[in-house]
């Protein structure tokens, strides 16, 4: 019983800060109307490109990292464009001769469009601040879009794990696992804390019943 | 060492004046009571915390089951959305409030579209004036999708959202009382504080870095 109590205590203590972060953001996420969401602050800077131009996404990323003193790993290129390009033309299924002809008709018009110059892009994503740099070959300036978020907004994003780094993802997983372990070890510690285990089982079942009724039997 | 000194220092995070046996027992009980009601929800939230954190790879892999069937409409049609709602609720024996669908069909004048949903299942019902039948699409969501919806409070009513709020409040409460209940029997307080701050530092690093 002693090791149970001690592991519950250590695990609980480690997760207590996470409990605060996730607890507060749960309420903020469930009731956005109560928290006037401070819109993220977006600013666009132009920084001058080197005279010789920029030849790759990586070069752009290195330049921006140096300029802003960033150490995180950037996302290179435009993921959306890359996905479109990687999609095979026949991805939609079987192509009939008619549709093939129609498709070739449309593709001739797209070929006729002027080829746009080479675009370079590097995105540094963070919960609190995001920097997206784009450079069009031949331009004098690199355009940098900087987004800064309020603390509450940042905490909400941390909760959602959106755009997060691998380290935070791992912390989120460990915290989730701790909640499960704390629930289980806490259950076995019940009579140390508060009373007979039958009562705990009763309350536990009420939690289960509440979840099942309001969640599943709703329809 | 005199026992009085030892006792006073037993709970390093509680002010000395509150370290009496009665207060500490009360605090322990409160911690237990608040925890036990949320324990089951904690397990759901914990599991879905992981499935949601990796939603790009795990996602809602358990498949949703979709069925379609038709319901005979009254000959006179429907005079209002409320009438339509009443008819559908009665025929399908639903007691959840509906939400209006803003699908393509619903945008046409005189067309009614309603959705009745819970975390586990949903009915989408549409009616086009002049038709003899209502179209009903029933979706039974897969287990992971259902639990994810519970975690996020999606497709759920006010009461479940309140349950989630209470759970969030409990997390905060348990974090604070848990710290107060830390005793020297568990370990040195300085190490405890260091562990706590290590998480805070990690959150700060990953959250505010860049």
Number of A:B CB contacts under 8 A?
Answer: 228
Tell whether A40 lies on the interface with B, counting CB pairs under 8 A.
Answer: no
What pLDDT, on the 0 to 100 scale, is given for residue B104?
53
Mapped onto helix, strand or coil, the DSSP state of residue B149 is helix
A104 CA: distance to closest CA in chain B (Å): 30
- Spatial CB neighbours of B48, under 8 Å, sequence gap ≥ 6: A176, B144, B147, B148, B150, B151
Residue A99 has pLDDT above 50, yes or no: no
From B180, B166, B159, B200, select the one nearest B34 (Cα to Cα): B166
**Model confidence over B152-169: pLDDT tens digits?**
888 877 888 888 898 999
What pLDDT, on the 0 to 100 scale, is given for residue B147?
85
What pLDDT, on the 0 to 100 scale, is given for residue A103?
46
pLDDT above 70 coverage of chain A, percent:
75
Q: What is the ipTM of this complex?
A: 0.77
Distance CA B120, CA B122 (A): 7
- Does residue A113 or residue B191 have the better pLDDT? B191
> Chain A 136-155, CB below 8 Å of chain B: which residues?
154-155
Helix crossing, A166-188 with A2-30: angle to 10°?
120
B-interface mutation test, from A35, A207, A210, most B Cβ less than 10 A away? A207
pLDDT above 90 coverage of chain B, percent:
10
Region of poorest pLDDT, from A39-53, A123-137, B93-107: B93-107
Cβ atoms A87, A67 nearer than 8 A: no
Q: Compute the Cα dihedral for A152, B14, A9, B178 and give only its sign.
A: negative
**Model confidence over A163-199: pLDDT tens digits?**
667 788 888 899 999 999 998 888 888 776 666 777 7
What pLDDT, on the 0 to 100 scale, is given for residue A161?
82
Of the pLDDT bands very low, low, confident and very high (cuts 50, 70, 90), residue B64 is: confident
Per DSSP, chain A holds a count of helices (H) and strands (E) of 8, 5
For residue B145, the chain A residues in CB contact (below 8 A) are none
Residue B48 has pLDDT above 80, yes or no: yes
Alpha helices in chain B (DSSP H): 3-8, 21-53, 81-92, 104-107, 143-152, 158-180, 189-208
**Model confidence over B101-147: pLDDT tens digits?**
655 554 566 788 888 888 888 899 988 888 889 999 999 888 888 88
């Amino acid at each position: 019983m002693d090791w149970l109590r001690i592991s519950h205590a250590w695990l609980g203590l480690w997760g207590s800060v996470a409990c605060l972060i996730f607890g507060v953001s749960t309420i903020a996420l469930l009731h956005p109307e109560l928290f006037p969401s401070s819109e993220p602050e977006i600013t666009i800077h132009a920084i001058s490109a080197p005279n010789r131009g920029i030849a790759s996404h990586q070069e752009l990323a290195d330049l921006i990292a140096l300029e802003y003193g960033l150490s995180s790993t950037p996302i290179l290129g435009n993921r959306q464009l890359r996905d479109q390009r990687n999609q095979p033309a026949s991805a939609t299924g079987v192509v009939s001769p008619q549709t093939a002809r129609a498709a070739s008709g449309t593709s001739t018009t797209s070929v006729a469009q002027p080829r746009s110059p080479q675009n370079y892009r590097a995105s540094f994503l963070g919960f609190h601040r995001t920097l997206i740099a784009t450079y069009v070959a031949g331009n004098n300036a690199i355009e940098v879009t900087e987004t800064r978020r309020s603390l509450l907004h940042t905490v909400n994003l941390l909760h959602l794990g959106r755009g997060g780094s691998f380290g935070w993802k791992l912390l989120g997983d460990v915290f989730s696992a701790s909640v499960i372990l704390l629930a289980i070890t806490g259950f076995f510690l019940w009579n140390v804390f508060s009373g007979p285990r039958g009562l705990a089982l009763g309350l536990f079942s009420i939690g289960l019943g509440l979840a099942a009724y309001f969640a599943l039997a709703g329809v | 060492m005199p026992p009085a000194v030892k006792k006073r220092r037993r709970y390093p995070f509680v002010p000395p004046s509150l370290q009496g046996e009665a207060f500490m027992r009360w605090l322990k009980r409160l911690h237990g009571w608040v925890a036990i009601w949320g324990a089951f929800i904690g397990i759901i939230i914990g599991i879905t915390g992981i499935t949601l954190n990796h939603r790009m790879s795990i996602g809602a892999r358990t498949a949703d089951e979709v069925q379609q069937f038709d319901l005979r409409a009254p000959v006179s049609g429907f005079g209002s959305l409320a009438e339509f709602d009443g008819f559908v609720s009665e025929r399908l024996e639903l007691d959840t409030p509906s939400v209006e669908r803003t699908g393509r069909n619903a945008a046409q004048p005189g067309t009614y579209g309603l959705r009745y949903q819970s975390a586990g299942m949903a009915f989408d019902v549409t009616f086009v004036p002049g038709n003899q039948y209502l179209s009903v699409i029933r979706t039974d969501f897969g287990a992971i999708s259902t639990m994810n919806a519970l975690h996020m409070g999606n497709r759920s009513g006010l009461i479940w959202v309140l349950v989630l709020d209470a759970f969030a409040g409990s997390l905060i409460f348990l974090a604070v009382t848990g710290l107060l209940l830390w005793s020297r029997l568990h370990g040195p307080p300085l190490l405890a504080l260091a562990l706590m701050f290590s998480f805070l530092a990690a959150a700060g690093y990953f959250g505010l870095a860049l």
